[in-house]
Amino acid sequence: MTMKRLAHITILMTLLTVAGCSSVPTQAPVAPVKVTPPKPVKAIVPDRPPVPAELVGRYSLFEGSESTFDIRQQGGKLLVYSGKNASELTPVSATRYTLPGGRQIDFQYSNEGKYDRFSLVLDGRPQRFIRDDSLLRSRKGVTQQAVYTWQLVNDLKLGGYTYSRFISPSRGVVDYSVYLPPKWQRHTKNTYPLVIFLHGQTGWEHSFPQSVPASQLNDWINRGLIPPMVIVSLRTGRINGREEEQWSSPRNETLLTSDSGNELRAFLRREFHAGMTAKTTSIHGHSRGARGAIHYALKYPQQFSSAVANAFVSDYALPETMQLAAQNQDTLRKSGIPLRISIGDRDEFELNLGRQSSAVIHKHLNDLGIKHQYQVFAGVDHGFVNIWNVRQANGMPNGLAELQFHAGAWSAAK
């Protein structure tokens, strides 16, 4: 959003403006599976328009953002609050109001006949906000992520990447990509180890697929260099519709560690037969995602089988990360998961900004007697592609070596 545009809208609208937020030959396609679509729910139509008091409440953006605000009634008028800042809503009709600056919001009713949501057109497309009590109730009711599963079931790409979304009770709608090995089967008793990839700042669920050709993974699997595995790359959330959410946030912790039947792990087990236990579930991150991988290795060592952190440069997270290591040092020394940290010696964050996170956490873990691997690559910058493809001393691509690192942990856990 430009400064010119900011000058024309209110603080509220700044809060509400949110983001909606190679090609390889594949094996034979998955045989079509007959899936019964979810039965439509017959909507209840209200028998009268809402009165202002019925529109009062805290609302949140439906698709995963932490953007929230309050609508309150004072002196017969509706006011919308963001923190201590308030703006008056001007009625056009019982269900339509305008904000300062002329933006229009339209209140709508749910299938239960309650006026608990409204839409707002931003950047040419509607965004939907839902009152928190209804949003919480709807997310608790999610058991199979049916809508997205139904759309996905006949479009899986074997030996390639498939892109889809699912509904998380902790985070709402989560975009993801999934790599399935060439001989993956839906109807089988076979299960697969899982790697969860966390992208860096400004990344998304395409970050891993755009950096790692599926043909490369297929080749390594076909040659027996790594076992068939499933790799899932997630998109992190947004705070107030703008700021990227840290992978260590409370709701991302729930997303990544919960064994609830409605959350990510159960979804991946059910749909892709992957990561059936913590002993076959690894985490791998780059840059800000590397901070996330180390965070989970140190705080939840029993929830993952291994962790790899590429280009950890988040100095702002060092105090918390070092504290986690100190607090859990006994557990980490006795039964901590295998952890590997790697970075290039030409990393621009180190050279230009003085970031020293990787070296500092390496020394801290050594001082605490916590086993881990640490490697610095000569001539390699911050980019994930370069870290992935740089050659080890034995000529092996680093990406292959790090997937073998995960595979070693899976094998040792058998």
The C-alpha R_g of the chain, in whole angstroms, comes to: 24
Backbone angles phi, psi at 175, to 5 degrees: -85, 140
Structure tokens at 227: 């076992």
Q: CATH number for 45-139: choose from 3.60.15.10, 2.60.40.10, 3.40.50.11540, 2.40.128.50.
A: 2.40.128.50
CATH H-level superfamily of 143-412 = Alpha/Beta hydrolase fold, catalytic domain (3.40.50.1820)
Mind listing the pLDDT tens digit of every residue in the chain (414 residues)? 333 333 333 323 333 332 233 333 333 344 444 444 445 557 789 999 999 999 999 887 655 455 677 899 998 899 988 767 888 999 999 999 998 888 888 999 988 899 998 887 755 556 778 888 887 776 665 554 544 454 455 578 899 999 888 888 888 888 899 999 999 988 888 999 999 999 998 888 999 999 999 999 999 999 999 999 999 999 988 765 567 889 999 999 999 999 988 899 999 998 899 999 999 999 999 999 999 999 999 999 999 999 999 999 999 999 999 999 999 999 999 988 999 999 999 999 999 999 999 999 999 999 999 999 999 999 999 999 999 999 999 999 999 999 999 999 999 877
Q: What is the pTM of this model?
A: 0.71
**Nearest in space to 193 (alpha carbons), one of 293, 297, 31, 304:** 304
Going from N- to C-terminal start, the domains of the chain cover 45-139, 143-412
SS (H, E, C) the chain: CCHHHHCCCCHHHHHHCCCCCCCCCCCCCCCCCCCCCCCCCCCCCCCCCCCHHHHCEEEEECCCCCCEEEEEEECCEEEEEECCEEEEEEECCCCEEECCCCCEEEEEECCCCCEEEEEEEECCEEEEEEEHHHHHHHHHCCCCCHHHHHHHCCCCCECEEEEEEEEECCCEEEEEEEEECCCCCCCCCCCECEEEEECCCCCCCCHHHHHCCHHHHHHHHHCCCCCCCEEEEECCCEECCCEECCCCCHHHHHHHHCCCCCCHHHHHHHHHCECCCHHHEEEEEECHHHHHHHHHHHHCCCCCCEEEEECCCCHHHHHHHHHHHHHCHHHHHHHCCCEEEEEECCCHHHHHHCCCHHHHHHHHHHHHCCCCEEEEECCCCCCHHHHHHCECCCCCEHHHHHHHHHHHHHHHCC
- Phi and psi angles of residue 14, each rounded to the nearest 5 degrees, phi first: -60, -40
